């Protein structure tokens, strides 16, 4: 019965082998203010049929799109929203007489009143000129070189129109696409650059000095419709760069957007092509999904489109065992863990990758062997306080509220005495370490979906050895012979710089909050919980 839920993703000709607190969810605007725009149309543009689900064929994509110049103020985009290091780079290049624009996802995020993960600049200056202009700057990348400008402790990425133009001869798929009518030389350069971007909502270009947003690809329309749609036909786009498949998932998850029908179909059909990517690139994309505040939505979309089976087979097997359908709206313990992770993170407040790795390992251990809810709570408390089992057990035994009984991995408290509770905590710690070991072992990864022969299979080991060792060290403090000099985080506020850096005490602190908050969700009786644990939920 569970296997049937995987049927659409099968490829018959392809077989590869201190308590937690609650925060308000981030809100994505469902609509944008109406704006007056200067609109120009090509002679071959078809009239908009008014349907967001209209498929765009190979032929239709070659037709001339409408293009627009929008007043940035009228769509609520102000220069004060640009990060100070980025402003400094823009100002220096502008003073030297170069054209400069913000491009890509940062423009999209500013329009949506979201905090950009980073800011990207494109300029008329050559990359060598940019490197000479800034004392701390290097050119990186071979296929698509860009400059990394170090400014005020951050890196600002700067690309050049000239580099994109030199590379244009390599991209024959764009040669038959007709340029917009009534555009001058500068418009043509901007359009040509936007044409090579992945999604229409990333094809916006903002001139902060003229205060104009250039939209050559219909990006504003798709932002209003909350759609992720490729600039060129999706199959063509994904074959050119299969990493765009994962970016489509990431963007849709983070913004709460839907994926257009044509793009979604190509994501399903070409899902296996992501295995062509270098493992470090795959790990980077998964980290962007799970460490920046959209983990739950990312896992749901990875599952829906058959990518979870390839990238995280243990978690995919868990979904199958639970009878979780591809479009299931229900939750489970894994999704609940990441829902609580997301409440603490944001694009500008990410966590270190070790946090989501240990959460995956803990969940796998609980999925393999369900545990007494008081054991799981005491385990998280022991990690928080540096391994003081006596204190953790004392606090856990004073909790007088019920655990979240929706999840079969969390058993009803069985009234364990202190000695048995300690033994169960230590056993859970060893089980989590065992899960980590399996997650980095190709033999175990390839066998994760062995019970479901119709499902896609993969032997991809996503967790590298250094990450495994770092995560393993996370649990070393939970042992009987732990030193009496217990080290625990001081204070209740999260230090996000330390969290992103992977500071052990900070990551353990956040992990404890997430686990505790999942086992014992927030209820009106939170004051009683605060008294019994010494934690507070802010």
- Beta-bridge mates of residue 281: none
First CA to last CA across the chain, in angstroms?
43
3-state secondary structure of 228: strand
Say what the pLDDT of residue 445 is.
Answer: 94
Round the CA-based radius of gyration of the chain to a whole number and report it.
25
Q: Give SS3 for 235.
A: helix
How far from the centroid of its chain's Cα atoms is residue 369's Cα?
29
Cα separations (Å) of 315 from 66, 93, 240, 459? 43, 47, 29, 14
Distances (CA, A) of 18 to 352, 382, 529: 20, 12, 11
The CA–CA distances, whole Å, from 260 to 49, 380, 417 equal: 15, 41, 55
Contact criterion met (CB below 8 Å) for 369 and 431: yes
CA distance 252 to 294: 10
- Spell out the SS3 assignment of 425-441: HHHHHHHHHHHHHHHCC
The β-bridge partners of 40 are: 67
Quick check: 475 and 433 in contact, CB under 8 A? yes
Bridge partners of 67, per DSSP, are 40
Place of tokens 């003073």: 95
SS3 state of residue 450: coil
- How many angstroms separate the Cα of 532 from the Cα of each of 179, 263, 352, 424, 527? 67, 51, 30, 21, 9
CA atoms of 325 and 304, how far apart (whole Å) = 8
- H/E run at residue 154: strand 154-160
Which of 340, 331, 268, 370 lies closest to 510, judged by CA?
A: 340
Residue owning tokens 């044509």: 262
Q: Phi and psi dihedrals of 150, rounded to 5?
A: -90, 120
The set of residues, in sequence order, having a beta carbon less than 8 Å from that of 31 and lying 6+ positions away, is 224
Q: How many angstroms separate the CA atoms of 429 and 379, rounded?
A: 8
* DSSP 8-state class, residue 134: -
Burial 132-170 (b: 16+ CB within 10 A, else e): ebbeebebeeeeeebbbbebeeebbbbbbbbbbeeeeee
Any bridge partners for residue 70, and if so which? Answer: 37, 213
Catalytic residues: 118, 120, 198
Q: What integer pLDDT is reported at residue 483 of this predicted model?
A: 55
Query: What is the rounded distance in angstroms from the CA atom of residue 522 to the CA atom of residue 499?
Result: 23
φ/ψ of residue 512, rounded to 5: -60, -40
Digitized pLDDT (tens) for each residue of the chain, 538 residues in all: 333 333 323 333 333 333 333 333 333 444 444 443 444 444 333 333 333 333 333 334 444 456 789 999 999 999 999 999 999 999 999 999 999 999 999 999 999 998 898 899 999 999 999 999 999 999 998 878 999 999 999 999 999 998 755 554 445 455 556 666 677 788 888 998 898 899 999 999 999 999 999 999 999 999 999 999 999 999 999 999 999 999 999 999 999 999 999 999 999 999 999 999 999 999 999 999 999 999 999 999 999 999 999 999 999 999 999 999 999 999 999 999 999 999 999 999 999 999 999 999 999 999 999 999 999 999 999 999 988 899 999 999 998 889 999 999 999 998 899 999 999 999 999 999 999 999 999 999 999 988 888 777 788 999 999 999 999 999 988 887 655 667 778 788 999 999 999 999 999 999 999 999 999 997 534 443 444 454 545 4
Domains of the chain and any CATH numbers: 66-224 (3.30.460.10), 237-339 (1.10.3090.10), 351-517 (no CATH)
Which of 407, 397, 315 shows the shortest CA–CA distance to 356? 315
Handedness of CA 268, 53, 65, 227 (dihedral sign): negative
Contact 292, 352 (CB under 8 A): no
């Amino acid at each position: 019965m569970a296997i049937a839920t995987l049927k659409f993703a099968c490829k018959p000709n392809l077989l590869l082998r201190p308590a937690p607190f609650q925060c308000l969810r981030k809100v994505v605007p469902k609509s944008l203010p109406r704006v007056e725009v200067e609109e120009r149309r090509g002679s071959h543009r078809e009239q908009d049929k008014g349907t967001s689900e209209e498929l765009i064929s190979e032929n239709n994509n070659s037709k001339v799109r409408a293009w627009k110049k929008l007043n940035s103020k009228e769509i609520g985009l102000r220069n004060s929203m640009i990060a100070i290091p980025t402003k400094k780079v823009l100002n220096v290049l502008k003073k030297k007489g170069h054209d400069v624009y913000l491009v890509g996802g940062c423009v999209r995020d500013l329009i949506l009143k979201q905090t950009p993960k980073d800011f990207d600049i494109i300029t008329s200056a050559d990359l060598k000129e940019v490197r000479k202009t800034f004392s701390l700057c290097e050119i990186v990348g071979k296929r698509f070189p860009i400059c990394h400008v170090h400014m005020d402790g951050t890196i600002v990425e700067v690309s050049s129109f000239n580099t994109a133009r030199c590379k244009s001869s390599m991209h024959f798929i764009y040669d038959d696409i007709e340029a917009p009518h009534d555009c001058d030389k500068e418009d043509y350069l901007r359009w040509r650059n936007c044409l090579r971007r992945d999604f229409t909502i990333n094809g916006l270009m903002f001139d902060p000095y003229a205060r104009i947003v250039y939209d050559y690809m219909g990006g504003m329309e798709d932002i209003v419709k909350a759609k992720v749609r490729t600039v060129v036909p999706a199959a063509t786009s994904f074959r050119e760069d299969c990493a765009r498949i994962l970016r489509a998932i990431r963007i849709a998850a983070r913004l709460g957007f839907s994926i257009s029908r044509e793009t979604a179909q190509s994501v399903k059909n070409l899902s296996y092509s992501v295995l062509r990517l270098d493992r470090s690139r795959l790990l980077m994309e998964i980290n962007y999904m799970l460490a920046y505040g959209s983990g739950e939505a990312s896992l749901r979309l990875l599952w829906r489109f058959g990518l979870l089976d390839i990238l995280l087979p243990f978690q995919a097997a868990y979904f199958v065992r639970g009878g979780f359908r591809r479009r299931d709206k229900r939750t489970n313990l894994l999704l609940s863990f990441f829902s609580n992770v997301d409440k603490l993170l944001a694009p500008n407040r990410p966590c270190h990758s070790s946090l989501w790795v240990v959460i995956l390992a803990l969940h796998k251990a609980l999925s393999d062997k369900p545990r007494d809810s008081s054991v799981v709570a005491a385990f998280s408390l022991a990690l928080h306080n540096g391994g003081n089992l006596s204190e953790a057990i004392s606090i856990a035994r004073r909790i007088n509220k019920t655990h979240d009984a929706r999840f079969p991995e969390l058993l009803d408290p069985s009234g364990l005495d202190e000695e048995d509770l300690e033994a169960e905590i230590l056993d859970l710690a060893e089980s989590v370490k065992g899960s980590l070991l399996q997650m980095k072992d190709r033999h175990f990864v390839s066998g994760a979906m062995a019970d479901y022969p119709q499902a896609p299979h993969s032997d991809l080991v996503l967790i590298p050895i250094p990450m495994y060792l770092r995560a393993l060290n996370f649990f070393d403090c939970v042992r009987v012979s732990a030193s009496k000099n217990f080290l625990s985080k001081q204070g209740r506020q999260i230090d996000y710089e330390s969290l992103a850096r992977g500071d052990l005490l900070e990551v353990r602190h956040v992990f404890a909050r997430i686990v505790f908050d999942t086992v014992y969700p927030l209820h009106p009786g939170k004051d009683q919980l605060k008294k019994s644990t010494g934690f507070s939920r802010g």
